[in-house]
Structure 1
């Protein structure tokens, strides 16, 4: 399928080499196939190649290249791409640290159902990083994470609610 020009075929074959499913695991081949898929317009191929550059699997680790690939994936509608790009901006990996950009990207990911994006955005509202400190918004995003299946989101949501109830009783 890949040789016939199928972008998803190239991406799927890349995943087979990445995970060693039906073929011997080979990160270099996987990276080459993800690049071919990405160059041909596969959002998932760009995301996967970004992961390869982030972790340095099959390619030399390069955060700047990872950022470009996650950005390409995010712009094409990949929620995972937006989440990873948000992480890059949050921690300043391959880009200058920018909490405002990170918050926007985490919100995009959260809106698409990525629980970690909701957790991170909730934490940013709790700490006032890149957004104005707002415990109500923090609770809303922790609850969204919880509803998306995140045990951490449930814990943070319940902890925040409990903490605010106790705080209001003591003051």
Structure 2
């Protein structure tokens, strides 16, 4: 088969999924469908978190004061309100509403006013500290391993330019397996489920919606991306996209939570909010999305929390994230991270990269084509 035929097949296979990989590459490592934003592109972040802090007297009538954070939730954050276990009732007076305030430390209690929050603080304080500690523990636990490509059973690489989402079967396949299949196939079919690709936008969306209707988290988050960009014949709708991302996140999609964080950075479908941006990147990182882990490290670094930043970088580097490894070197230089521990992380990084490497992936022209088609 000549080079032109190979290129044609490589171009056509992209119709089975979407141009996620190209957008990922263009956006400095972030998931597709969101504009590039500073902290993920390696530039300086927006600075300190936009969190409202007020002092509240402790229940022990001591002279010392304690800080508590209460984040305002506007009416256009209804879907986010619904995602909190506390429901839509004030934890103090029981008043219902969609514009309640959320305790931004534990995010488990809502209040209709600052007055109600102050009244409830004495009783809520211990639970708040407990919830916050549980979240902190989860944030710095070893993340879940990357899933395998369902064809070659090698862990999917962190580099999204070497992966592709298949809307027909909702599988993420490595580009090596896609390319290998297309070298021997006579049809434009999916390498996993063998469904023939379609160039009809309505049929394409119908396939995604069919998967989303079964509460398939990845299909829902992918559909949200189509609404974000207004692709495949869908009208651009940031609010609907945000609702879908939230649903996908609750169903287990770390990518979706990353996109919620990006939405709060950009103000897409919601008002800009740096505290919520960070919180949803934390949920994404807990779910194993290493680009969000890198973002969190940069957020902490840019607010001079160097040791905390290095904790994020070390976790990301352990999993094979090159950006985290590079930034961890800066932590060593300023004395925020131990050199001996860095040597251990470096070995873990090399092991993770090697585990996800294959000759098929390295030699696949799809990797370069995905950059070209973005």
Q: TM (normalized to structure 1)?
A: 0.75
Partners of 2:206 and 2:314 lie apart in 1 by 40
> Cα–Cα, structure 1 residues 28 and 137, in superposed 2: closer, same or farther, change >3 Å?
farther
Partners of 2:217 and 2:170 lie apart in 1 by 14
Partners of 2:239 and 2:169 lie apart in 1 by 22
1:76 corresponds in structure 2 to 251
> Which of 110, 115, 130 is the aligned partner of 2:290?
115
Q: CA deviation at 1:147?
A: 1.5
> Cα–Cα, structure 1 residues 161 and 55, in superposed 2: closer, same or farther, change >3 Å?
farther
Partners of 1:14 and 1:95 lie apart in 2 by 31
Partners of 1:40 and 1:105 lie apart in 2 by 24
Q: Give the structure, 1 or 2, with the largest relative contact order (CA under 8 Å, sep 6 or more).
A: 2
> Cα–Cα, structure 1 residues 28 and 148, in superposed 2: closer, same or farther, change >3 Å?
farther
Structure 2 spans left out of the alignment, 5+ residues: 1-165, 172-177, 179-187, 191-195, 337-374
Partners of 2:243 and 2:281 lie apart in 1 by 17
> Which of 153, 159, 170 is the aligned partner of 2:330?
159
Quick check: which has more Rg, 1 or 2?
2
> Cα–Cα, structure 1 residues 27 and 150, in superposed 2: closer, same or farther, change >3 Å?
farther
Matches within 5 A, 1:3-22: 12-13=167-168, 21=190, 22=196
> Which of 115, 140, 150 is the aligned partner of 2:321?
150
Q: CA deviation at 1:37?
A: 2.8
Q: CA deviation at 1:12?
A: 4.8
Partners of 1:60 and 1:115 lie apart in 2 by 31
Structure 1 spans left out of the alignment, 5+ residues: 1-10, 167-171
> Which of 71, 93, 96 is the aligned partner of 2:271?
96
Partners of 1:118 and 1:33 lie apart in 2 by 32
- Structure number with higher helix proportion: 1
**Deviation readout 1:38-79 (Å, 9 max, x if unpaired):** 234222221110111123221122222211111110111211
Contact 2:170 2:218 in 1 (8 A): no
- Structure number with higher strand proportion: 2
CA RMSD of aligned residues (A): 2.5
Residue 51 in 1 paired to residue 221 in 2? no
Partners of 2:276 and 2:267 lie apart in 1 by 11
